[in-house]
Each structure stands twice: as structure tokens, then as C-alpha cells.
Amino acid sequence: MTRKKSTNDTADWDTARDAVRDNSTALTAMTSHTELFTWAKDNGIDNGSLFAKFKTELRKQLHIDYDELRQKAFDDRTEEMAQQAADAPQVTLYAAGDSEVDSFAICSDHGEDPWYGEFHPNDKVTDQDSADISAARKAMYLAGQAREQENLELIGLRLVVSNHRVTQQVLQRDSLRHKVFVTIEVVDNGEDNPALEVCRLPGFRSWREVSLTDLLAAAASGAR
């Protein structure tokens, strides 16, 4: 059976088509995804479904690839952060997720001062890969909180994980959002990643119980 398109869906396609067609000169002059999104927001077409159709119409009518422009901007900013990271404070965190018990852990060396507990439904953990990636994203968040506490422009994070699916590219948006430049070290030996054991601990411990001051102090001590 063929599913009929909803009236709202058809109207959204027409709105996106007309918006691009009627403003083609202005849109073609824009050179960044930020300009395009700002224009869409100012014109009330920045919601999920309508904005997706707007991006499609940009590509169809004007050969403007919004996602490609955005990715280039992300890559350029990541490269800038890489150059700045050498002079930024560095911290080390260990991260692991466990899909079997739906838990995660972020900790410093030897499993000290951990943040651990069960995943939130918003983490959307469905398998071991997504569990480890979600745990890594939490580590990025924690490093970002340390950066904010000290009012730093940028912080470097050495993130130790046990899953090769956890990559800089996967964490790129988190890196840009939290202003944390991450380098990832993958260890296959469980003894080299204390978070694997910590995420099996009963109960939970909030990230607010973690000493961000000690996290940065340990990094400064290790740099000496």
C-alpha cells in the first residue's frame, strides 16, 4: 500500500521551494552555513522537518550543500584548536560504557574521583559501541566543565578508551561545543582502563562530586 503524504509535509515542501526560489540571489551570495541558518531562522523555516527540506531545495536549485559547508567550518575550527592545544592545559580521563548493565564511568588515573551510573534515556544507548561513545561524550562534557570553571579559552583532553569506534571525528561536535581538543588513546588491556571496572560499581556518583580543581591540578603536576 502506498502511503499518502500528509498535507503538512506537502506544504513544507512548497514553503521550502518558494523560499529558495524567491530569494535565490541573496542565498547564493552567502558563503557559510551560519549565514544560511541565520536567514532560515529569521524567516521561520529553521524547525527540523522544514529546515531539512530547505537544505534539499538549496542543493537542488542553487547547488549549495549546507552540510558540506558546515562540515568544512567544523574542520577548519578543529584545525585551529589543534594548533592552540599545545599551549593549553591538558587533562587525562578514562571512559567506558557497558551496554549489558546500561552504565558508564568517567574517572582519572587508577579509577579515582569517578563519575559513574546508569545511562539516561536521552543517551540512546543501543549496543556496546553507542555505550562507549556516550561515555566518551560525557568525558568531553566533564573536561568542558573544568575549562569553564577556570575560565579557559581551550583545554586539551587525553581520553583513554577501549573501543576503536571512539574517534576524534565522532566527538568533533562535542569538541567544538565544549572547547575541548581531544586526543584519543585506545587500550585493549582492561587493566589500562580503570573505567571498565568502575562502570560496574553499584549505585551512582554525580559529575558534580568530581573535583575539577584536582583534575586540572593533576594535569599541571604531570606536565612538570
103, 109, 113, 117 alpha-carbon torsion, rounded to 10°: 0
* Together in a domain, 31 and 106: no
pLDDT in tens, 32-54: 999 999 999 999 998 889 999 99
* Together in a domain, 60 and 115: no
* Together in a domain, 54 and 158: no
Does 130 map to a domain?
Answer: yes
* Together in a domain, 156 and 95: yes
Q: What would the mean pLDDT of 139-155 be, rounded to a whole number?
A: 95
* Together in a domain, 29 and 87: no
91: domain range?
83-223
Does 104 map to a domain?
Answer: yes
Does 69 map to a domain?
Answer: no
* Together in a domain, 116 and 44: no
* Together in a domain, 48 and 132: no
Does 34 map to a domain?
Answer: yes
Any residues with CB less than 8 A from the CB of 139 and at least 6 apart, and which? 93, 95, 106, 157, 159
Which pTM value belongs to this model? 0.82
Place of cell 568542558: 144
* Together in a domain, 120 and 216: yes
pLDDT of residue 99: 95
Read off the CATH number of the domain in which 121 is found: 3.30.420
142, 102, 132, 145 alpha-carbon torsion, rounded to 10°: -10
pLDDT of residue 40: 95
Q: At what angle do helices 66-85 and 33-42 cross, to 10 degrees?
A: 130
Does 177 map to a domain?
Answer: yes
* Together in a domain, 98 and 59: no
Does 75 map to a domain?
Answer: no
pLDDT in tens, 160-169: 999 999 999 9
Whole-angstrom distance, CA of residue 78 vs CA of residue 73: 9
* Together in a domain, 100 and 208: yes
Q: What would the mean pLDDT of 50-73 be, rounded to a whole number?
A: 95
Does 74 map to a domain?
Answer: no
Q: How many structural domains does the chain have? A: 2
Place of cell 562502570: 199
Q: What is the DSSP letter of 5?
A: P
* Together in a domain, 37 and 103: no
Whole-angstrom distance, CA of residue 126 vs CA of residue 203: 21
* Together in a domain, 32 and 138: no
Does 73 map to a domain?
Answer: no
